[in-house]
Structure 1
């Protein structure tokens, strides 16, 4: 008996009328006048956007602006929740504002397939976009122009692994990018790529070993610093290390650049060719730390304490444009800090000896940026703001008086008897305050922060917000992104959402599927159980050789606490939602504690690590083996195999899978369906199986995604599988 696929792909026109709700892979042009990214509205697959960025200084009169004012037109700015939000058409011509960012979708030719998430982009100084598309083991290079469906083919390279880097200052007719490729020979091959279509990529170098990273040491695009993998000693007596080397593109030669200590990992992470300022990341000091130095100076690298934060990963995202005569020690560097679900933004000057945190709104930054006279630009998203480009006026944010931090409430992490509403919530969690979150900070951010291109809901309302909280896990606190305000625990319907990966995490960023659930009135707890990334190495490696071990313990502890408290109030237990690895984990939890689960909805699940290894492609097999997915957790509870446990499943079940899933084969879900039928479960009564025709692993972001979002939200609210 076979399933009848639900035809979603092809049922919707490829239109760009709907605004982009997801954006990934941002890249800025060399001069900062343009940017590019992959975008999706959920109604026509992924496509390329080119952004035009105003490079003039930002001038905006905010003296009379108030929070939460209404927009005056389709392209007007508005201040919402402490953000200055520019409309999709840019700044209001009558507002006196400059410094805007305007996204333009690159139209697709009729019948053309959507872009793949694996496509790489390079934003060119004239607004065009260089696209690298993977086809098997070949990469096709094309150049797209805004407002045209035509594309210029500029070459094809047959390499399993290929990545692009923009040249820092390409001239007319000159190459615009460097392509670095690797294959089974363990060598790095390098090509120069032109954008005019008149010549194939020109190979300029080939050297032994694998390389990553990439920082330009000059504005002319000749000297490129790379992270070079140095193999360990024969016999495994020493581990491989990473050292920075410099590739001279004119001669094709490679020379050492950073070698701080034997066995240390030394990477160049940023450089300013004008002043000579460099930033490095090295574990030579005994721990992985950021340091700085000056090119050409006979001074040792310095590793200041202010750049070493044990609970935050700092990365340079941009260096302020150098001014004539300004020494390297006076250059300012913007650093993004990541820990858990959110990001922070700070500015550091070597001579100051301190890191100055900027009062930006809570959310997630994109890890890349560009600093020009118009301001510091970075991708930004939050649960109630789809990704756009933020423009930050650093001096404005630093000019105001110091602000007091919100006090951190000291609340017990274990559950206590509920009294309903916010009082009950206060005994369950510790609220994690966002940095500088007082109203004064929001007003100050509004005068030096602007977000462009972030789509508003089509109904004219507002997206649902979320916040980070700490919940009690089986072995300690764990963070979650929670939709539903202060009364989420006592909401009529509560969903515990489990992320994929397993090396991944929920972030304080816009998620269309969770947003749709919140729109249906569901409270959502998107939890980062052990094994999630962003909380340190030990937390992330908790699942090594233990899939469905510590993470399942955390989920079961949460379900026991939450569902028990809800039962005392006469409310139904929590429901489960999971994607990919999170779907596997949700099924394990629903089978392990059936009385604590109201409903279970899973997308692209697999049944066990060994079953996934047997059916997946080479890349997923390698990942499964590297993470120890075939090992049985050493906790005495036996194998984590959904097929062996699904006889315990009693909650209504919804299974969604794309029939062209390239990561988790659809056969995993088909096998589960067959087993449920064999055990006597009735399809459409006890469970529903939906196979999305033509969809891959990112089925919730591909064609027809809004239909699936609606299906999932409706099922989790009503429990009716039809």
Structure 2
């Protein structure tokens, strides 16, 4: 499984947006905006063949730098453009020497709509519009009648992580009024029914960063261990075991961001490999970690890495897309070295992290301080 790489707003409060290079949930296709200067166009990458290759999808007019693109599992690319007070949606696809375009419709909105990460079903695409008091979820591709609003969630939401392989359960990080941020699960087949997902303490900001449906592994950002400072931790969806915040995921003066989880480890969350983007003053590099690791294995990123993008194979190979002048479409393969386990400090959750049930639910448990 790979989640769409997300670039959060600098203050952590604005709506998250997909990065400029986005990979389908099955890892077969990717898409980005590329080009020189103002001559931008959508580009589709095919990743599941013997060799990766890119197909340009230019139209008669260049694309706006703010256009958003999202690949679908059939190889078409969804593009979202702003035209005055309307957001328009189309599907792009190669047809002979030209680019075909299928218009899907538009949404009248003064606010921005942000495309959510690719749906696990590969055929639907969703967008999120964040207002001051509510967040709207729109089905913008895959519906029968063009874009349609499918849910309205109370509060201002960010993030967007899929919890299953059908595209039904979506996790959002929600703030109600001036309260803390809490991850909630939204059931798109029940009119956007919302259930609690994460609550480590009542006052902590608890965000869901990544989830793997096969193993139930969750990557969590929370300031419960250190109020005012977000730390990276892990838990298991559906488990009553405490969320863990390993010290090895908090190196000094380094920002650690998870961007992909190894699929296929059914009910084996501690065996899942996690890809980490590690940023410091010296630059960015790759970390590869499992919950039983003493520390992440750290390796240099390939030249031209499309930062924050990558996909695991079930066998444990991390595939990183890159583009250079010499290789405009390339994928580097990295394998995780084995490492001995090390215990990690824990924080008891106030509410179990629910899994493998729809709608998700959870029950209260005593709140304890970080150990």
With the length of structure 1 as denominator, give the TM-score of the two structures. Answer: 0.41
1:355 aligns with 2:302: no
Q: CA-to-partner distance for each residue in 1:60-97, whole Å, 9 max, x for gaps?
A: xxxxxxxxxxxxxxxxxxxxxxxxxxxxxxxxxxxxxx
1:30 aligns with 2:25: yes
Give the root-mean-square deviation of aligned CA atoms. Answer: 2.4
Indicate the residue corresponding to 2:155 in structure 1: 209
Greater radius of gyration (CA): 1
1:51 to 22, 25, 45: 45
How far does residue 204 in structure 1 lie from its aligned partner after superposition? 1.6
The separation in 1 between residues aligned to 2:205 and 2:165, in whole angstroms, is 26
The separation in 1 between residues aligned to 2:105 and 2:285, in whole angstroms, is 40
How far does residue 388 in structure 1 lie from its aligned partner after superposition? 4.7
1:149 to 99, 104, 107: 99
Secondary structure at the aligned position of 1:258 is classed as: coil
Secondary structure at the aligned position of 1:329 is classed as: helix
TM-aligned CA distance change 1:364 to 1:167, over 3 Å: closer
Q: Which has the higher helix share?
A: 1
Preserved contact between residue 224 and residue 247 of structure 1 (Cα < 8 Å): yes
Indicate the residue corresponding to 1:107 in structure 2: 58
How far does residue 205 in structure 1 lie from its aligned partner after superposition? 0.9
TM-aligned CA distance change 1:140 to 1:226, over 3 Å: same
Secondary structure at the aligned position of 1:393 is classed as: strand
Greater relative contact order: 1 or 2 (C-alpha under 8 angstroms, separation 6 or more)? Answer: 2
The separation in 1 between residues aligned to 2:54 and 2:269, in whole angstroms, is 34
Q: CA-to-partner distance for each residue in 1:93-135, whole Å, 9 max, x for gaps?
A: xxxxx3x211110131xxx321011111110111110011112
Secondary structure at the aligned position of 1:145 is classed as: strand
How far does residue 385 in structure 1 lie from its aligned partner after superposition? 6.9
Preserved contact between residue 127 and residue 146 of structure 1 (Cα < 8 Å): no
The separation in 1 between residues aligned to 2:165 and 2:26, in whole angstroms, is 11
Q: CA-to-partner distance for each residue in 1:406-440, whole Å, 9 max, x for gaps?
A: xxxxxxxxxxxxxxxxxxxxxxxxxxxxxxxxxxx
TM-aligned CA distance change 1:101 to 1:328, over 3 Å: same
The separation in 1 between residues aligned to 2:322 and 2:70, in whole angstroms, is 19
Preserved contact between residue 347 and residue 355 of structure 1 (Cα < 8 Å): yes
| Map 1:422-571 → 2, pairs under 5 A | none
How far does residue 224 in structure 1 lie from its aligned partner after superposition? 0.5
Secondary structure at the aligned position of 2:318 is classed as: strand
Secondary structure at the aligned position of 1:306 is classed as: helix
Indicate the residue corresponding to 1:162 in structure 2: 113
The separation in 2 between residues aligned to 1:28 and 1:253, in whole angstroms, is 28
1:269 aligns with 2:209: yes
Q: CA-to-partner distance for each residue in 1:221-248, whole Å, 9 max, x for gaps?
A: 111001112322xxxxxxx532111111
Preserved contact between residue 128 and residue 135 of structure 2 (Cα < 8 Å): yes
Indicate the residue corresponding to 2:36 in structure 1: 41
1:250 aligns with 2:245: no
Indicate the residue corresponding to 1:132 in structure 2: 80
Indicate the residue corresponding to 1:342 in structure 2: 283
1:189 aligns with 2:112: no
Preserved contact between residue 119 and residue 132 of structure 1 (Cα < 8 Å): yes
The separation in 1 between residues aligned to 2:331 and 2:22, in whole angstroms, is 14
Indicate the residue corresponding to 1:282 in structure 2: 222
The separation in 2 between residues aligned to 1:388 and 1:54, in whole angstroms, is 13
Preserved contact between residue 253 and residue 280 of structure 2 (Cα < 8 Å): yes
TM-aligned CA distance change 1:139 to 1:130, over 3 Å: same
Preserved contact between residue 336 and residue 365 of structure 1 (Cα < 8 Å): no
Preserved contact between residue 343 and residue 363 of structure 1 (Cα < 8 Å): no
How far does residue 282 in structure 1 lie from its aligned partner after superposition? 0.6
TM-aligned CA distance change 1:47 to 1:341, over 3 Å: farther
Preserved contact between residue 21 and residue 306 of structure 2 (Cα < 8 Å): no
TM-aligned CA distance change 1:389 to 1:280, over 3 Å: farther
Aligned residue pair count: 312
Q: CA-to-partner distance for each residue in 1:279-317, whole Å, 9 max, x for gaps?
A: 101111013211011111110100001111231111111
Indicate the residue corresponding to 1:221 in structure 2: 167
Indicate the residue corresponding to 1:688 in structure 2: none
Preserved contact between residue 336 and residue 343 of structure 1 (Cα < 8 Å): yes
TM-aligned CA distance change 1:122 to 1:341, over 3 Å: farther
For structure 2, the residue ranges without an aligned partner over 5 or more in a row are: 1-18, 339-371
Indicate the residue corresponding to 1:391 in structure 2: 332
The separation in 2 between residues aligned to 1:220 and 1:128, in whole angstroms, is 19
